[in-house]
Amino acid sequence: DVSPVVAGLIGATVLVVSVSVTVFVWTCCHQQAEKKHKTPPYKFIHMLKGISIYPETLSNKKKINRIRRDKNGPAKEGGRGNLLLDAAESGLAGSDKAPDGPGAAPHVEQLPIKVDYGDELSPDQSLTPGGSKTSSPSSPGDDVMLGDLTFSVDYNFPKKALVVTIQEAHGLPVMDEHTQSSDPYIKMTILPDKRHRVKTRVLRKTLEPVFDETFTFYGIPYSQLQDLVLHFLVLSFDRFSRDDVIGEVMVPLAGVDPSTGKVQLTREILKRNIQKCISRGELQVSLSYQPVAQRMTVVVLKARHLPKMDITGLSDPYVKVNVYYGRKRIAKKKTHVKKCTLNPVFNESFIYDIPVDLLPDISIEFLVIDFDRTTKNEVVGRLILGAHSGSAAGAEHWREVCDSPRKAVAKWHSLSEY
């Protein structure tokens, strides 16, 4: 015999457990049903030669997927200049700490510069005004044909997805003088917001690359297509330094109607327009050269009118200083991060030992970068001074520094797009 109190407790417990299990099962079934009918959030699916690398059933936490470069591809040949660069990079790896303030002692850096670079450098290798390097007379800086790019545009109405297939390119110029070929790949951005950034894999040693890669962007209404522009940047991979920019293709979707099916297009690759983003702010730097000590003093003073990079309407900028001898980066430094400002004041100096006879081949690159603790840091703009300056003001500043030894020359410069 069970007392009425115990029987009531047992009955109540069974009732509570039954109701809880029923609610839990109903909630799970309801969520599964919603997932099947709910429009997926913005993401893209990368199709490589017809094979879905990220199928739609896979939860895509990253909005952008980047295909790894072909590890089995042949590496570029390197001479003694490459060994010297590796030694320079390893020597600078532990010396990136910036000074503690304007009153701190400046950085003194012995540059591992040697005149003999073997066959790695040639007189016609240089940085272009856009910041890329050229290594042959058929570079984008000359009046030569840069080839054509073939791609297709389609739209998936049920899934509100824009589908872009980068098919192939023809007639690319030679960017690697050693192999008389190029290692092309393509970066694609959807303008004007620049949020949707993807890139293809690198194809080795070819001037007629066939990519056959499809990028599907979800969450783009068809009514917004007329306001979008597809930007294709064609580059050639360089294992030892900055990749070469071959050219670009701009395609406004206002003139493309994918509503009736896939639209295949072929556009000529044009020289990159480095003046299209001229409102990237300004940077003030000071240079002075001591011919007796053979030292170059670089002072990053301040910046102004930087673009807003954070949701707060501000930025967290810092400046990275790269020193190049010809095409080789031989030194790198960076300033402190200035929090929540569009007009930062740095007042940080760096000193480099540079022989006077090597000054004609020295270039100094300033990269203004927005620091982000949670995502990748983004380059706001850049400035190049020296032998390969991309502007008349930069070339004039460098000439004045070389013609006025022991004098600090400070000037404002407009930042260009990276």
Burial of 328 (0-12, 13-18, 19+ CB in 10 A): buried
Which of left, alpha, beta for 75 (phi over 0: left; psi -120 to 50: alpha)? beta
What tokens were used for 386? 């020296």
Place of tokens 């200049």: 81
pLDDT confidence of residue 392: 81
Low-confidence ranges of the chain (pLDDT < 50): 39-44, 49-142, 275-278
Strand (E) or helix (H) holding 7: helix 4-37
pLDDT score of 153: 92
**pLDDT recorded at residue 194:** 66
pTM across the whole model:
0.43
Domains of the chain: 147-269 (2.60.40.150), 282-414 (2.60.40.150)
- Separation CA 194–CA 12 (nearest Å): 59
pLDDT at residue 385, rounded to an integer: 92
Cα–Cα dist 220/194, whole Å: 14
Query: Is the Cα dihedral 154, 157, 158, 161 positive or negative?
Result: positive
pLDDT tens, 183-228? Answer: 999 998 888 776 677 889 999 989 999 999 999 888 888 888 888 8
Provide the β-strand partners of residue 286. 299, 410
Pairwise CA distance, residues 269 & 191, whole Å: 18
pLDDT at 373: 78
